[in-house]
A and B are shown apart, each in its own frame.
Chain A
């Protein structure tokens, strides 16, 4: 029994030792690229990473979510190789620079069984601001959480007839719930019977579980965004720490995103290349 205890103790110490030693190397691996930030950019970044990994088998790219806010602060703190943001950087966000990698529309989505097809900016503003139902059908809406780039862009872009933007409100109507990812918004909207809910997501994330609405009579298509007819659009931004050099692997992936091949993937997935 004594022997057993000794062995167990030794094992215990050994493993914790290993664990601690292992932690020292965390992030130090040359062939690992860590990217964090916007959950709107994430699906595109994962596609790009998958294509890149297929070409460079020795490089592992980890794409984490967390929201644009996290992407930017992680980059500021040097916690990622680069961050993703689904809105332009604010002037208060110093120490990092943003490089636009694609443009994305924000699609207004409803349940496929919903009868509404078209909404105006005023209708959307008032649904979020004071809960005025749209067409008597859309009585509730989903917002994203406050760190979301999609929310930031949406709140700035949705302006009512009087020129007020959602972003200046200190609170939305009682019918507005908050979901903290593109996936959550889609799950809610797509759930059978949820025909009274309006939500918004990245255009590239749209699939057939949801129906996309026209905004001010304009269809949410890549062409309309490029032509400037569809006003709900924002840049996808790569956030890099100022003055810091990317690791070799990160630099390779960074270059790949802006290469012709990378931009083709951007286009194939329903986003607008630069």
Chain B
């Protein structure tokens, strides 16, 4: 055997790609350690048990406590906020999960490809060819990519007044409003992932069930849904992760009073995330208050990590279901069955009606949101407000264009090489089933599940504090790198996997090195998948608010470099909420929301266009089976990525 120097080009490349892949592990550990490190003063002063189980939260009262005294234990207790977070999550998964799963069933089995399939529309030439299924898919994707701050704002101006009218004590803010808003946010996650797993159930199950004389409804609800249950369960757990960590959307509608237990649906309370959003701004550096806020972030992080581990546990055996959750098939003793001629399947028919109704309710909610915000906001979108020079006398959105562009550029510049490198390592270098790769995957999934407010806290502690970047666009961009990295890795890996092995073997046989094969053959073939990941990342950056407020600040000024503070559209919207624009007031928020919706809509169209292209490209080069699978996976990608 030829001895190979460890520093050869091939090995160097492998090591570099390996480091890229291992970066996620470092990132997760860094987040846990630094957030924990800053939480310790609070845990010490308050006592871990007092902190977790105490039920008062009185941050103004520290100066009534003697320095270092034991009475901190009576000031900082987060039990009510933990309970609130759990109640919200439970409610959202119940409501949003129900809607999500039924919408998925509708999408997978009841939604006709073309509107013309429905008898009523079959004669109307204009509507006949309307692609209903594609339209619904777009609706779910769009709902997935609407920034949380826009959904929160919609909740404040539409859902809260609605709930207030229903409420016995005329209070709209509180648990119920927050649950509805959160449900709206997790429906796309749950529905697109459930749809994926429903569609992955072997066709034979469907045909077999029909062949035995079941109706379609019976087949769907008694055979297909149970067969897909482990996938649906994973979808619900991802939904839990999303709901427990959501900050901005809840902040708008929950009423924000810490230290209260959520014993009524119509009572203003505060969750872990909302308290951080409300109080982080003025908690002074080095105070127990700030440390206590970071510690509540740490508690949140622990919850999310546990949820991720649970998910990993369930995912283990994807095909046959997990041993814990799959039904044991027992040979049942043959029983004499008398012939009955009663009609069966009424329950399933009702479920069908429910799934159709739920899908249309989701459609209506999204439509209402978009139209409502557009109607209210577009009149205020003057050229002056969009592009005028922003100053104290005249606040405009112009700096947000520049800041958003700068953050996108720097973030992608760092995250793309890292993410693509990691994906190359995972797909091209790793051995199947290796422990290292499994660990990396676990950490990438974990990183994807970390709530954005925790990223914000980490960015504030690490980039702004320890790296001494202060509030700056650079600190914001570095934080965003961590947030979008999992998206890029997953999406790139997916498209690398689609490249047929024959291409690699051909290149290697012709004498090209592995690195050359990767860069010359594999990557160019995967370029569309990478492009998709770029677009998805841009969407994530545009919609992010919680993580950026604590890292890049929320100024109204035009930034003058990566060292200065700057606000993206979503952050400006938060700022407009906190400090109304003179002369525009709440209308500035509507106008900014319109801009955000516009950007998100364009990005969604771009993703669809890219994927259509991808499908076509695939058909020419690959065997047909491949491209069909590709199409199915890629269509669900945008919604899934957000999870």
Residues on A lying within 8 angstroms of B by beta carbon are: 1-2, 5, 8-9, 11-12, 15-16, 18-27, 39, 42-43, 46-47, 49-51, 53-54, 60-70, 72-73, 76-77, 90, 92, 139-140, 143, 145-147, 152, 170-172, 174-184, 186-188, 190-194, 196, 207, 209
Contacts and interface: CB of A to CB of B under 8 A. Distances in A.
Contacts of A23: 468-470, 472, 474, 562-563
A146 B564 contact: no
Q: Is the interface of B mostly helix, strand, loop or mixed?
A: loop
Contacts of A42: 579
A178 B170 contact: no
A70 B164 contact: no
Contacts of B393: 46, 50-51, 53-54
Interface string B154-173: 00110011001100011111
A143 B563 CA distance: 36
Contacts of B555: 62, 64
Contacts of B281: 65-67, 70, 147, 180
B56 interface: yes
A47 B575 CA distance: 17
Q: Which of B278, B577, B585 has the largest number of chain A CB atoms within 10 A?
A: B278
Contacts of B394: 50
Nearest to B468: A23
A139 B284 contact: no
Interface of B: 56, 58-61, 63, 156-157, 160-161, 164-165, 169-174, 255-260, 264, 267-268, 270, 278-279, 281-285, 287, 391-394, 409-410, 413-414, 417, 468-470, 472-474, 477, 519-520, 553-555, 557, 561-564, 575-580, 582, 585-586
Nearest to A205: B580
A5 B523 CA distance: 12
Nearest to A21: B563
A179 B472 CA distance: 27
A172 B257 contact: yes
B516 to A, nearest CB: 8
Contacts of B59: 146-147
B171 A68 contact: no
Contacts of B58: 146, 170-171
Nearest to A91: B63
Contacts of A181: 577-579
B255 A177 contact: yes
Contacts of B414: 12, 16
A178 B284 contact: no
B557 A62 contact: yes
Contacts of A73: 282, 284-285, 287
B580 A19 contact: no
A39 B578 CA distance: 8
B170 A26 contact: no
Contacts of B173: 177, 188
Given A67-B281, A73-B284, A90 B63 contact: yes
A19 B410 CA distance: 9
Given A143-B257, A175-B169, A177-B173, 4 more contacts: A50-B391, A175-B267, A177-B255, A181-B578
B474 A145 contact: no
Contacts of A50: 391-394
Contacts of B161: 191-194
A234 B248 CA distance: 32
Given A22-B474, A50-B392, A63-B392, A68 B577 contact: no
A15 B481 CA distance: 15
B253 to A, nearest CB: 10
Nearest to A180: B278
B278 A24 contact: no
B417 A179 contact: no
Contacts of B564: 22, 26
Given A53-B391, A181-B578, A146 B170 contact: no
A178 B256 contact: yes
10 contacts: A18-B561, A26-B470, A39-B579, A50-B393, A60-B557, A69-B283, A147-B279, A182-B579, A188-B173, A194-B161
